[in-house]
Amino acid sequence: MTLDPTESTGHSARTLVVKIGSSSVTTSGRVDVGAIEKLAAEVSAARAVGNRVVVVTSGAIAAGWTTLAPDRARPSDLATLQAVAAVGQHQLMRVWSDALELHHLVAGQVLLAPLDFVHRSQYLHARQTLSRLLELGVVPVVNENDAVADEEIRFGDNDRLAALVAHLVGAQLLILLTDTAGLLTEDPRLTSRGSLIEEVVEIDHELERVAGGAGSAIGSGGMGSKLAAAKIAVWSGVEAVIADASRPGVLAEVIGSAPGVGTRFVARERRLPARKLWIAFAVGATGTIVVDDGARRALMERGRSLLPAGVVSVAGDFGFEDAVEIAGPDGVVFAKGLVRHPASLVAQWAGRRSDELPVDVSPEVVHRDDLVVLD
């Protein structure tokens, strides 16, 4: 059995989550064995000085499609993507296992889906499994369960998954490795004039605009996806760094806070509790509730629950305990929460005081315990 390096060094363990994207683990659509061996060597070096490392890897769909139809364009329909992922996942894992074994490390495959972060019991089981793997000195190699997790295939790369895993394992640092130096002031796909943004204290709308949309044809993420993952991480109290996967010794430099290596996102002092993190980032919204200025102030400044009196209008067909976005009169979304009444009743009760509602119903549309202010 592999021993945890912290047992021999005496250092307190620091847990890192390292995510590498499809564009960095594939070349011409094929799994890049050299790139994975490079990162495996750097993972080994990080562990040797007392760190625990969880790897989150993309590349299963790319690996599978190369096997099935290497000369054809990657498909986009969900059923084919799921089938291709089933073919490619074991191939990708074999490369990781072999690469880590070169450094006398054991890889442990962990496949996760969105529901693992939404349902409390599944969340706890996933945390227990990852924690025990780390205790045993194993390097968990995590991927989204592409063969069944249609939401993950449809809505993004492994960036969001990596950020949620960082929260799950109580990591101190999330490292998002990609094919650029970090977040730049200009979109590198459009111009070469952009310069590296070395530190971000607050992720605002302007920064999200700079990040842009999806990246390569191989992957499904992009800098926008990585910025969203960084936001999840910092709201979890986890520092995040976006850096170039091909840079020699990139992990050691990021861990050592070397200047000019990637974009570093400063963690917020106040951690968002796990339940509110799920609401904010892991559950898709099924509708929108527009509220008046008074309700917006009550939610943002005083931490109140949303009552029908503050509701102006409703969009979407949501049901009990569905997630909804909450917007002000200007249409800007500022909060997200789980509703206690279906859309039809919320629309019917819009603008009414609590004493005008039926006596046998809860007056809260969204209780403050189920609400997250996003600004």
Q: Give tens-digit pLDDT for 265-285.
A: 999 887 788 778 878 887 789
Q: Tens digits of per-residue pLDDT, 102-139?
A: 999 999 999 988 777 767 788 889 999 999 999 999 99
Buried b / exposed e over 75-105, threshold 16 CB at 10 Å, is: eeeeebbbbbbbbbbeebbebbbebbeebeb
Q: Which two three-digit tokens encode residue 309?
A: 């009196």
Residues 40, 58, single domain; the answer is yes
Residues 239, 316, single domain; the answer is no
Query: How many domains does the chain fold into?
Result: 2
Residues 168, 308, single domain; the answer is no
Output the domain CATH number for residue 265: 3.40.1160.10
Residues 202, 292, single domain; the answer is no
- Which of the residue ranges 8-12, 106-110, 195-199, 364-368 would you say has the lowest mean pLDDT? 8-12
Nearest to 111 by CA among 33, 165, 45: 165
Q: What is the pLDDT of residue 323?
A: 93
What is the H or E stretch that residue 111 is in? strand 107-112
What is the pTM assigned to this prediction? 0.82
The Cα 165–Cα 282 span in angstroms is: 11
Q: Output DSSP code: residue 280.
A: I
The Cα 243–Cα 180 span in angstroms is: 7
Output the domain CATH number for residue 301: 2.30.130.10
Q: What is the pLDDT of residue 212?
A: 63
Residues 221, 369, single domain; the answer is no
CA angle 294, 283, 125 (to 5 degrees): 130
- Structural domain including 334 reads 284-373
